[in-house]
Amino acid sequence: MGWKTLDDMDFAGKRALVRVDINVPVENGVVTDTSRIERIIPTVDDIHAQGGKVILLAHFDRPKGKVVPEMSLEHIAGTVADVLGLTVTFVSSNYAEAVDEMEDEEVLLLENLRFHPGEESNDAAFAARLASLGDIYVNDAFSAAHRAHASTEAIAHLLPSCAGRLLEEELGALDAALGNPARPVVAVVGGAKVSTKLDLLGNLVGKVDHLVIGGGMANTFLAAQGFNVGKSLCEHDLADTARAILAKAQATGCEIILPRDIVVAREFKAGAASETCAPDACPDDAMILDAGPATVAYIAEVLEKAKTLVWNGPLGAFEITPFDAATNAAARHAAGLTQAGKLISVAGGGDTVSALNQAGVADDFTYISGAGGAFLEWMEGKTLPGVAALG
C-alpha cells in the first residue's frame, strides 16, 4: 500500500481538509442511521490530538452540480455535531474567511460539494480552490473512493495527502478478504439482477474457491441450465452470459453453488403461502423467493471448511418474511463461525448491511464495510480512483 496514514503526517498547527462520506439516510428531516458519521470520529479526534484543525469536505445525495436546498448539508450539521461531540460550524460561502476564523477544536463543515459542477467533473480549478483552504488532505471516504471527483481525486495531487483511519481500516479488512486471503475463500453474492453484477461474478470466479449465488440472480442461472422458473424474476436474455460464467468457474476450479432447493410462492407479500421444492420444479404460476433448507445446510457445510467469507447481497427476498429465512440462517451460521475464531467474514454493499442487521448478526462479522458502490467495485477488482490518488 503506497499511501500514507495520519501517523505519517504532522498536523500541529495545520488545517486538514478531511473528505468524509456522511451521505446518510434521512427521513422526514431526521438522520435514520448515523453509522457513517460515527465512523469518522477516530480521524477527527486523531487530527485534533495532534494539534490540527479539521475542515470536513462532503457530498450529500445527487444534486448534479446545482444548488438543491433540500440537499444542503446544513440539515445534518446538527447531527454531525451531536455524534462528534464537537462544535460544528456549517459554511455555505466565504470559505476562506471561515477557515481563518476557526477555533482549534471547532469543526467546519463545507456545503455539499456536489452543488458545484466542478466536483463531479474532477475539475482542476475547483480542486485547487478547495486545496487553498488547507495544508493537508485526508481522505476518509472509502465509500466514495470509487468516484473520481475533485474532492476525492484531483485534490489529492495538490496537497500532502494521506488516508484517514476509516479508509485505512476498510482497505485493511478488504485486503484480508480478497487481496491475500486465508483459503478456502467463499463468496456469497445475492441480489436481484445478474446484469448489475456481471463484473463482480467474473472477477470472483477467478479468485474464490466457492461462489454462492443467491437471490433473483440465481434464477437466471437456473433458467440458463434449462429449468423452468415460472413467474420468477429472471433475466432470460442473460442465459449465455450465465453459462459463460459457469464455464469460467469450471476452468478456474471455483465451485458455483446454486440453490439445491427453492421456496416458491404465488404472491410477493409478507406471509404469503409458500412451499419448498426441487430447483427444477417451480410451478408455472409461482415465483422463487428464497433458497430452501437443503441449500442452507450445504452453504453451512462449505462455510465450516472455509477460512474467509466475503458477502454481498441477500439470498432471498429478505425484506419480507418468511423469505428472509435462508439469508438469516446462513448469516447466523457465518456469525457463529466468526465468533468461534474459525472464519474471517467481511460483508458490504447496499442491502447487505440491512440484511445482516435484520438477521441480528452485523456485530458478529469480522468486518462490515460502510460502503455500497465502492465495496462492489472493489469486489469487481477495479482500482478505486480515490485510493489510487493517494498512492
| Active site residues per annotation | 36, 193, 350, 373
Q: How many CB atoms lie within 10 A of CB 280?
A: 12
Q: Is 230 in the site for ligand 3PG (CB under 6 A)?
A: no
The residue count for binding ligand 3PG (CB under 6 A) is 8
Q: Is 366 in the site for ligand 3PG (CB under 6 A)?
A: no
Select the span of 27-35, 87-95, 143-151, 169-177 touching ligand 3PG (CB under 6 A): 143-151
Least Cβ distance, residue 20 to ligand 3PG (angstroms): 10
Side-chain half-sphere exposure of 69, counting CA atoms within 13 A:
0
Least Cβ distance, residue 271 to ligand 3PG (angstroms): 32
Q: Is 116 in the site for ligand 3PG (CB under 6 A)?
A: no
By CB under 6 A, the residues from 238 to 297 that bind ligand 3PG are none
Q: Is 140 in the site for ligand 3PG (CB under 6 A)?
A: no
Q: Is 43 in the site for ligand 3PG (CB under 6 A)?
A: no
Nearer to ligand 3PG by C-beta: 181 or 314? 314
Q: Are 155 and 131 in contact (CB under 8 A)?
A: yes
Residues 97 and 105: their CA atoms lie apart, in Å, by 17
CA 173, 174, 175, 180 torsion: positive or negative?
A: positive
Q: Is 139 in the site for ligand 3PG (CB under 6 A)?
A: no
Tell me which residue has cell 473520481.
148
Phi/psi of residue 54, nearest 5 degrees:
-115, 125
Q: Are 345 and 365 in contact (CB under 8 A)?
A: yes
Q: Is 349 in the site for ligand 3PG (CB under 6 A)?
A: no
By CB under 6 A, the residues from 17 to 36 that bind ligand 3PG are 21, 23
Q: Is 369 in the site for ligand 3PG (CB under 6 A)?
A: no
Cα–Cα distance list, 325 to 60, 229, 262, 320, 336 (Å): 34, 20, 12, 10, 16
CB-based burial, 159-197: b 16+ in 10 Å, e otherwise: bebbbbbbbbbbbebbebbbeebeebbbbbbbbbbbeeb
Among 143, 219, 345, 369, binds ligand 3PG (CB under 6 A): 143
**Site for ligand 3PG, rule CB under 6 A:** 21, 23, 62, 143-144, 147, 372-373
